[in-house]
Structure 1
Amino acid sequence: MRLEDVWFRYGRRADWVLRGAAVAAEPGSTVVLLGRNGVGKSTLLQLAAGVLRPVRGRVTDRPAVVGWVPERFPAGQPFTARQYLARAAAVRRAPAHAVAAWAERLGLTPYLDTRLAALSKGTAQKVGLAQAVLAPPGLLVLDEPWEGLDAGARVLVPEIVAEVTAAGGAVLVSDHRGEIAALPGATRWTLADGEIHASGPAADTVVVEIGVERAAAGETVARLRAEGHTILGVRG
């Protein structure tokens, strides 16, 4: 999947969210998207998945099967989890056993006959993850896939990412938790001021969270960046 000179904004007078983006996610690769909140990571992921279209430029070589998991699964739909996944499987032409298999793996089996609107956020997010992988995706796009998930389900996300790439698919994931960034071979795209800066995989990366006084936050971030560290985010 390639972005070729992609520009995007939400209105003719709005600021550009992306300016001339030119990057590629190769088959078998994991790409971790980094950047502060509000910088446009979700917009980039939607462009990659085909949910949005560029204002300028184009997205090419997008695989025929794209799995898309938004940050919040749209649960306000008149289906049970079973009905929704069965219809998604039919659209994807996934094997008949795929719904039951993924429901069991993600701990969804007890909720299959529950309406989507009645599910907790975490359980609804599992439905969103399941629908994305019912058929093996050539491109899997995950927007902060851990939001609302329990500890057991969070462990599964890196496993699923590894399985998709091992099968030759590409994975593009935003990851403010740093749970995917440390995977061997993961490439990083850092989005800032409308531009994407790509960097190769880190040899051995861990995430360290620190707390500083609010007045010292800017200076601390600047010093860490100057020392070559990647800032995954700043929160109050």
Structure 2
Amino acid sequence: MLFENVAFRYRRRGPWVLRGVDLALEPGRVIEVTGSNGAGKSTFLRLVAGLRRPGRGTVSGRPRRVGYAPERFPVDQPFTVRSYLTHMASIRGVRADAVGGWAERLGFARLLDVRLPELSKGSAQKVGLAQALLDDPGLLVLDEPFAGLDAATRETLPGLVSDLAARGAIVVISDHQRCIEPLPGVGRVRVADGTVTVLEEGAAMPEQAVLEVVVAEDELDTVEAKLRADGYRVRRPAR
């Protein structure tokens, strides 16, 4: 899949969010998209998935079957989990029994008859992942898929991603939770300064340092979420 001199902006006379993007995404690879909050990662992921069209340049070689899971799954829909996923399976020519299989693998089988607006953020995230994975996509694009997931699903998803890539798919993923770091052979690109740069495999990472931040206890979750959104690793000391 090839990006050639791709540029994008949301309005005709608005500022360019991305410009001059030249990039090859190879089958059988997991590519992590890094960059600070607001740099344009989600915009780039939508361009990869084909949900946005470049203002300039071309994107070619996109696989026919594309799975995309946004950072926030849109739950404001008048369906149960089962009816939504069954509908998506029908659209994509997938057997309806695939729904139950993915519900079991991602740990939400007990929620199949729950209405989408009643789901927690983590459960909604699982439904978004299931719809993206339903038809064995040749291109899988995941925008912060680990946010809000329970520990068991966080452990399961990297293996699913790795298996899909091993079958020849292109997987492009942003992951502030650092859950795919242990996977071997992960490629990385960085979105910054309005463009996308390939990080060379084995390139030295910037020197790391630890900064201790003291906050009120009721602000812990908010501050942690903001730091993770900006691309920082966060760990809480054991009590």
Same-fold call, TM > 0.5?
yes
- Checking the alignment, whether the CA contact within 8 Å between 2:154 and 2:179 is kept in structure 1 is no
CA-CA distance at 1:197 after TM superposition: 1.2
Q: Return the letter of the residue paired with 1:54.
A: P
Match of 1:156 in 2: 156
- Checking the alignment, whether the CA contact within 8 Å between 1:138 and 1:169 is kept in structure 2 is yes
Query: What is the percentage of aligned positions where both structures have the same residue?
Result: 51
Q: Return the letter of the residue paired with 2:29.
A: S
Q: Return the letter of the residue paired with 1:77.
A: Q
Q: Return the letter of the residue paired with 2:125.
A: Q
Match of 2:226 in 1: none
Alpha-carbon distance in structure 2 between the residues aligned to 1:147 and 1:100: 23
Alpha-carbon distance in structure 1 between the residues aligned to 2:168 and 2:232: 34
Match of 2:5 in 1: 5
Alpha-carbon distance in structure 1 between the residues aligned to 2:34 and 2:118: 32
Match of 2:217 in 1: none
Q: Does 1:124 align with 2:124?
A: yes
Secondary structure of 2:84 counterpart = helix
Alpha-carbon distance in structure 2 between the residues aligned to 1:147 and 1:213: 22
CA-CA distance at 1:212 after TM superposition: 5.0
Q: Does 1:176 align with 2:176?
A: yes
Secondary structure of 2:135 counterpart = coil
Distance 1:17 1:114, change over 3 A: same
Distance 1:134 1:213, change over 3 A: closer
Distance 1:203 1:102, change over 3 A: farther
- Checking the alignment, whether the CA contact within 8 Å between 2:142 and 2:172 is kept in structure 1 is yes
Q: Which runs of 5+ in 1 are unaligned?
A: 215-231
Secondary structure of 1:54 counterpart = coil
After TM superposition, the score normalised by the length of structure 1 is: 0.86
CA-CA distance at 1:203 after TM superposition: 8.6
Q: Return the letter of the residue paired with 2:231.
A: G
Match of 2:49 in 1: 49
Alignment of 1:62-73 (within 5 A): 62-73=62-73
Match of 2:225 in 1: none
Alpha-carbon distance in structure 2 between the residues aligned to 1:180 and 1:33: 11
Question: CA offsets, 1:37-71, max 9 Å, x none?
Answer: 00000000001001111111121111110000000
After TM superposition, the score normalised by the length of structure 2 is: 0.85
Secondary structure of 2:160 counterpart = helix
Alpha-carbon distance in structure 2 between the residues aligned to 1:203 and 1:40: 23
Q: Choose which of 222, 231, 234 in structure 2 pairs with 1:233.
A: 231
Segments ≥4 residues shifted beyond 6 Å: none
- Checking the alignment, whether the CA contact within 8 Å between 1:35 and 1:41 is kept in structure 2 is yes
Question: CA offsets, 1:103-130, max 9 Å, x none?
Answer: 0111111100000011111101100000
- Checking the alignment, whether the CA contact within 8 Å between 1:3 and 1:22 is kept in structure 2 is yes
- Checking the alignment, whether the CA contact within 8 Å between 1:186 and 1:200 is kept in structure 2 is no
Q: Which runs of 5+ in 2 are unaligned?
A: 215-229, 235-239
What is the aligned length?
218
- Checking the alignment, whether the CA contact within 8 Å between 2:116 and 2:124 is kept in structure 1 is yes
- Checking the alignment, whether the CA contact within 8 Å between 1:108 and 1:123 is kept in structure 2 is yes
Match of 2:108 in 1: 108
Distance 1:181 1:4, change over 3 A: farther
Secondary structure of 1:128 counterpart = helix
Secondary structure of 1:74 counterpart = coil
Question: CA offsets, 1:8-37, max 9 Å, x none?
Answer: 011233221111101121110111000000
Secondary structure of 2:130 counterpart = helix
Distance 1:203 1:38, change over 3 A: closer
Match of 1:218 in 2: none
Secondary structure of 1:89 counterpart = helix
Q: Does 1:186 align with 2:186?
A: yes
Aligned-residue RMSD, C-alpha? 2.3
- Checking the alignment, whether the CA contact within 8 Å between 2:33 and 2:189 is kept in structure 1 is yes
Secondary structure of 2:114 counterpart = coil
Distance 1:36 1:141, change over 3 A: same
Match of 2:223 in 1: none
Match of 1:19 in 2: 19
